[in-house]
Structure 1
Amino acid sequence: MSSALTDLFRHPIVQAPMAGGVSVPRLAAAVSEAGGLGFLAAGYKTADGMYQEIKQLRSITSCPFGVNLFMPQPEYPGASAGSAGAAGAALPSAAAIDVYAHQLAGEATWYEAELGDPDSGRDDGYDAKLAVLLDNPVPVVSFHFGVPSRDALDALHRVGTFTLVTATTVEEALAVQRAGADGVIVQGVEAGGHQGTHRDVPETDGGGIGLMSLIAQVREAVSVPLIAAGGIMRGSQIVAALAAGASAAQLGTAFLATPESGANALHKQALTNPLFVRTELTRAFSGRPARGLVNRFMREHGPYAPAAYPEIHHLTAPLRKAAAQAGDAQGMALWAGQGHRMARELPAGQLVEVLAAEIEAARTELSAAPASGGGA
C-alpha cells in the first residue's frame, strides 16, 4: 500500500468513480495500467457486488486503484424545504415526495414502468462496504456526500489505505482535514454528476464555486494533498489545476466516452450530440444537485423535484432504466460535466497517454514562454 498520493500513479490523472455502472473494472484497470489511478464506484451496489468488482479488477491488474463510497444520508426532520408547491409553500419531505410521485405518474404510464419505492434505504450499505474494505484492503478509498468518522479513517489507515473525501467549499475541506483524511477531492461546480456537498441545502442550489477559484482557496486553508475535479478534459487544464495547488486531477466525463466505460451507448453519444447543447444542475432524477445534459425530463421535472436524496433516486430508478431500454435519451440521467463537448472516443489507456503528452506539452510551452517584463 502507498502512503503518499504521488506514489499511486505515474501521471497525475485520476479516473472519477462514476456510479450507476459506468466505472467498471475494465475501465479502472485500463486507466491504472496506463499510469493513472483507476477507480471503482461502490455507490448503489451491494457490499458483495462491490467485493466481486474488486476481485475482478485485481484479476486483470496489479496496479493501484481506488474505491468510492457514498456516505449514509441523515434522516430528514419532520418538515423541511423539500419542495415548493404552486403556492410556494414549503412541504414536509414525505408530502413533497408524494407530490413528485404524482407528477411522475405520466412518465410511468409512458414508459410502462412502476415508480420505485422511495423508502429503499438511506445508507447505501455503508457499514457493510466499509467492513469489506477493512478485511480486504485496497490502495485508496474515497468518500462522497459527507465526511466519515475519525474512527473509520483511522481503521483504513491501519490497513494501509489512503483516504480521500470530496469537498465543494473551503469549510468542507477544513472538516475533511480535521477528520484525518489523507487528501481532499476539490470539486468545482463544473463537475458532472452529483455535487459532493456535505449538507444538502436547497438555498445554495446553483451557487457552487468554480474549480480554479476553489483550488486556490482550499490550498490556502488546508495542508493535505488536493485532487482537482470539475470539467477537466485536456492536459492543459490539468497543468492549470496543478499550478493552482492540486497534486492531481480527477476526470469523469472524459472517461465516460471511452469503450471501456460501462455507460449506456446513448449516454456516450449524447456527450457530443448537437441536440444536447448545455448542462445544468438538477434534482430531477435523484433529489440531490447533479449536473447533466439538459433533456426533456430535466426541463419538465427539474423545477419541481424536492430536496430528498436518495428517496427521489429510488423513485425514478425504474423510469431511467425503462427510458434506456426504450432507447430514449430524453428520459435518462445524462450526467456530464461542462466540458462534455470535448469528449474523445479513445480507449481509456490511450486517453491517459494523450493527456500525459498534453501535460508535458503544456509544461514545455510554459517553461519556454518569456517572462513578462515592464513596459517601455
Structure 2
Amino acid sequence: MSSALTDLCRYPIVQAPMAGGASCPQLAAAVCEAGGLGFLAAGYKTADGMYQEIKQVRGLTTRPFGVNLFMPQPHYADPAAVEVYRHQLAGEVNWYDTSLGDPEAGRDDGYEAKLAILRDDPVPVVSFTFGCPTRDTVAALKRAGTLTVVTVTTPDEALAAQHVGADAVCVQGIEAGGHQGTHRDDPANDGTGIGLLSLITQIRETVQLPIVAAGGLMRGSQIAAALTAGADAAQLGTAFLVCPESGANTLHKQAMTNPLFTRTELTRAFSGRPARGLVNRFLHEHGPYAPAAYPEVHHLTSPLRKAAAAAGDPQGMALWAGQGHRQARELPAGQLVEVLAAELGAASAALALRTAS
C-alpha cells in the first residue's frame, strides 16, 4: 500500500463497507481503534444520513476511517423484464402481506450531494463501487486531503482507476460476499469473475497502484497469502459482519454459521445486480428469473426483504456472505483485528522461515 494509506492504520486490515446497515459507526470505530481501517457504507443512505454517521464515528475515535460511495447507475434495464419480475414476486407479496417497492425510486443514490459533503468536510479515505469516478472528482477530493480507492474486478477497470488518478484499487475477487463491484453490469459476464489471488497478480502486472485485496478472506493466513500475491492490504466484510458491533440483522449474523445454509451463490434475485449470498428459499426460487436491472429490482424487493426480517424469516432476506462464511467468529471487532493480526504475523514468520531454509 502507498505510504499515505499505510500510515493510516497499524495493520494492513480493512473492514469492508457493507451497505444495508452492517458497517455502522460502532463497527468502523472499533476497527480503527484496534489498528485497522474502518469504513462506513454510504450506499442506500441519504446524504444527511451519511453525514450523521460520519459525526458519530468522529465522536467514537480519532483514528482515520473511510466512507464508501455507490456510483450513479446508467439506464439500461428493460422495463418489460422488470414488470415480468414484478409478477413473478406476486406470491411473496401475499406471503409477507406487503407491497412491492417503486422500481423507479432513484438510481444515483444521492451521489452528488454526498460528494459535496465529503469535499466540504473531508474524511481520510473515500472509496467508490459500481464504477469509476471522474478525474475531476478524484482531484477535488485530493485537494481536500482525501485518499481515493476504486473497487475493481478486472485489469481494465484497474487501468481506468489509474487513469483518473485514484490512490489505490480495491481488487475484488469472485469469492467476495455482497455485490460484485463491476464498473459495467454485463449479463454476458455472469459467473465469469476471477478468483482473488489470480486477479491480484493480473492487476499487479497491469497498474502501478497499491492493492487492497477483497474476496472471501476470513483468517490471517489468507491475508498473508493475498499479501504474498502482491496485495498491500486486505479488506474483510463477512468476517466483521458477525461482530457484536456490526449493525447487521441478528438473523443475518446467525445464518453465517447456521447448518441450514451450506453454500453461497451469485444472484440477481434481490437487487438485479450480481451479488453473493447464502442460498435460501428466495434466492433459489427467484434467482433464475431476476433481470439485469439495478437498482430497479433493489427498490422492487426492498419491502419484501424488510417484511421477511420483521417476520423473523431468513428465507426471504438477502443474506450476503463471502465464500468463507463458515469460518466466521463472533468476536468483538477490536479483538478480531488483533486475532487476524496475530495470525498474519505467524503466517508471515512461517513463510519467511521456509524461504530462508
TM-score, normalization by structure 1? 0.94
Gaps of 5+ in 2: none
2: CA distance between counterparts of 1:371 and 1:3? 27
1:46 maps onto 2:46 in alignment: yes
1:160–1:370: structure 2 CA closer, same or farther, 3 Å change rule?
Answer: closer
How many residues in Structure 1 have an aligned counterpart in Structure 2? 356
Aligned to 1:40, what secondary structure does the other structure show? Answer: strand
The whole-number CA distance in structure 2 between the counterparts of 1:244 and 1:212 is 6
- 2:114 aligned to 104, 129, 133, which one? 129
2:5 is aligned to 5
Separation of aligned partners in 1, 2:110 and 2:170 = 22
Cα RMSD over matched residues? 1.0
Look up the match of 2:218.
233
Q: Kindly indicate whether residue 139 of structure 2 is the aligned counterpart of residue 154 of structure 1.
A: yes
CA distance in 1: counterparts of 2:242 and 2:21, whole angstroms: 13
Deviations 1:176-232 (A, max 9, x none): 101110000000000000000000000110110000000000000100100000000
Q: Deviations over 1:324-365 (max 9, x none)?
A: 000000000000000000000000000000000001111111
Residue 194 in 1 paired to residue 179 in 2?
yes
Shift of 1:371: 5.3
Partner SS state of residue 143, structure 1? strand
Alpha-carbon distance in 2 for matches of 1:146, 1:296: 31
Distance 1:50 1:31 in 2: 18
Q: 1:3 touches 1:160 (CA, 8 Å); kept in 2?
A: no
Shift, 1:75, TM fit: 1.5
SS in 2 for 1:273: coil
Deviation per CA, 1:269-301, whole angstroms, max 9, x where unpaired? 100011000000000000000000000000000
Q: Which amino acid aligns with 1:248?
A: A
The alpha carbon displacement at 1:3 in A equals 6.9
Equivalent residue number for residue 341 of structure 1: 326
**Which residue pairs with 1:246 in the alignment?**
231
Q: Which residue of 1 aligns with 2:200?
A: 215
Q: Distance in 2 between matches of 1:338 and 1:304?
A: 23
The whole-number CA distance in structure 1 between the counterparts of 2:171 and 2:111 is: 22
Partner residue, 1:85? none
Please tell me whether the aligned partners of residues 3 and 162 of structure 1 are also in contact (alpha carbons under 8 angstroms).
no
Specify the alignment match of 2:250 in structure 1.
265
Regions of 4+ moved over 3 Å: none
Residue 370 of structure 1: how far off its partner (Å) = 5.6
Q: Structure 1 residues 118 and 370 mapped into 2: Cα distance closer, same or farther (>3 Å)?
A: closer
Deviation at 1:4, TM superposition (A): 1.0
Rg: which structure is higher?
1
Structure 1 residues without counterparts, runs of 5 or longer:
77-81, 83-92
1:318 corresponds to which residue? 303
CA separation in 1, counterparts of 2:87 and 2:313? 22
- In structure 1, the partner of 2:151 is 166
AA aligned to 1:70 is F
**1:147-185 C-alpha deviation (Å, 9 max, x unpaired):** 001000000000000000000001111111011100000
Q: Which residue of 1 aligns with 2:66?
A: 66
- TM-score scaled by length of structure 2: 0.99
1:277 aligns with 2:258: no
Map of 1:354 onto structure 2: 339
* 2:256 matches 1:304: no
Residue 366 (structure 1) shift:
1.1
Counterparts of 1:333 and 1:285 in 2: how far apart (Å)? Answer: 6
